[in-house]
Amino acid sequence: MVDLIRGLRAEHVAANLDRVREEIAGSGRDPDTVQILAAVKYLPSEELGVLAEAGLELVGENRAQDLVAKAEVYPAFTWDFIGHLQSRKVRQLLPYVRYIQSVASDSALEQLGRYGSPDTRVLVEVNVAGETDKSGIAPSELTGFIERCPVRVAGLMTMPPLARKPEDSRPHFAALRELAERHSLAELSMGTSQDYLVAVGEGATIVRLGTRLYASKSP
């Protein structure tokens, strides 16, 4: 079992956030074009105030019940759902989130059609590497899936295979970017603490960071 992260200090998180923005700028991207999402799966609710104090505004949770509980305590954050989506949780999530980032099944589309609104926006999760143990739509099936989606698809999300080096993820990020361009989709959620600069270089508009923000010392 992974221990929860406790004892965060706002000055450390703020310094890490500043460093991430500097690195994004150093890569040639305008930091204002890349949304930094704080992944809070391993943060208890009582630590979330530290994130707000540090200047973070966008947060993402992997578990539906935890997102609802945390969002009710901290409604000022913009919340995204970034975990594996059980279709029966769609109705529960919709009142709290900006995006469900992991839509990848026809059963989820059915629930979105039943409970979504004209304002509902989602990201479609794409399994760009074709990993059999991961969820996500196959690239070849994406066009039909988007056409069947009853709410607005704002963009795409992916989780590449575990890699020894950040650069190993580049082909997967590039493939997602090409799919987004083909379908005229603006949002690209890709890149985590270990490979976000590679993702930024391939056009990410959202990077999902955890340990990179929470470390007591910036690397």
Task: Report the predicted TM-score, pTM, of the whole model to 2 decimal places.
Answer: 0.95
CATH number of the domain that 115 lies in? 3.20.20.10
Q: Determine, yes or no, domain membership for 216.
A: no
Cα distances from 41 to residues 21, 38, 200, in angstroms, run 22, 9, 23
Rounded to 5°, angle at Cα 30 from 27 and 35: 100
Q: Are 191 and 200 in contact (CB under 8 A)?
A: yes
Rounded CA-CA distance 94/100 in Å is 8
Note down the domain range covering 181: 10-204
Name the pairing type of β-strands 152-157 and 99-103. Answer: unpaired
Q: Determine, yes or no, domain membership for 210.
A: no
Q: Determine, yes or no, domain membership for 1.
A: no
Domain count, the chain: 1
pLDDT for 184-216, tens place per residue? Answer: 999 999 999 999 999 999 999 999 999 999 998
pLDDT for 104-147, tens place per residue? Answer: 999 999 999 999 999 999 999 999 998 888 899 999 999 999 99
Tokens linked to 104: 């990848």
Q: Determine, yes or no, domain membership for 100.
A: yes
Q: Determine, yes or no, domain membership for 212.
A: no
Q: Determine, yes or no, domain membership for 115.
A: yes
